[in-house]
Amino acid sequence: MRKWLCILVVPVLFVMGSCATPKYPVSRFGHNVPDSLFQPIEYRLRPGDKVGIQSYNTLASIGISEAVGTTPVASGGLPEFTAVVDNDGYIPMPRGGRVYVNGMTRKEALANMRKVYPNINNPEFDLNILSMKVTVLGAFNTQGNFEILRENMTLADAFALAGGVKYENMSRTLTIIRGGKAMEFKVNTAQIGDPRLNAIVIKDNDIVYLKPSGASVSAPKVGQYTSFLAPIGTILSAISLYTTVTFLINQE
């Protein structure tokens, strides 16, 4: 009997575990924003990063204006092309060969790129990192993953990418999840526009979550719990039926 109960109960525990919400260590700051969150952040390139490279020189002679992935430019624009950091940490430069950039900041990578064109007088480039993302969820007009358009983008910029806050749906909790840890702030409709809060610097892969109010999520929660409880109810019914049948057989 115990063996069969274990067999039937284990799936219940599995279903419950699979529906559990991930938990993060939480630092609760209330209405205070630590000065450390305003510090500039220098992104370091890694394999798989997509970058956009522009030239400030007339470099058609070395093939930049004809490079694969070149973006058409308007009259007077800058030659531009895209590249991806390969698994060894290199990017290809037209007629310049492979340039090592892994673990480097933008400035360090640009310095390395200049070295492969010794015949050009003061070669100058700009490098934009195109693979940085921020996830914005909760009481916003648009939820989802958004490209971080530049280093040291702020929380205000993230709000703008999401189409702004849905004030009628927001609660009093704003959470930023970074590197597996959560930072929680208390806000209201007035404080969500606080310049100090909005000046928080966003990092690659940050998750910004503005918790919706209870009223705005009550209907979805009902559906969520119903779908969660349905399989559990079926399993418990099976256990009850098995127990009843076993008891009746033992009485005969």
Sheet holding 144-147, edge to edge: 26-30, 181-186, 170-178, 206-212, 133-138, 144-147
Alpha carbon 32 to chain centroid, angstroms: 24
- pTM equals 0.69
Whether residue 231 is predicted with pLDDT greater than 80 in this model: the reply is no
Torsion sign across C-alpha atoms 163, 168, 174, 178: negative
Tokens for 7? 């067999």
The predicted pLDDT at position 160 comes to 96
Q: For the chain, list the domains and their CATH numbers.
A: 18-41+132-212 (3.10.560.10), 50-129 (3.30.1950.10)
pLDDT digits (tens, 9 = 90+) for 179-204: 999 999 999 988 898 999 999 999 99
Whether residue 220 is predicted with pLDDT greater than 70 in this model: the reply is no
pLDDT digits (tens, 9 = 90+) for 46-104: 999 999 988 876 555 555 555 444 444 444 456 678 899 999 999 998 878 899 999 99
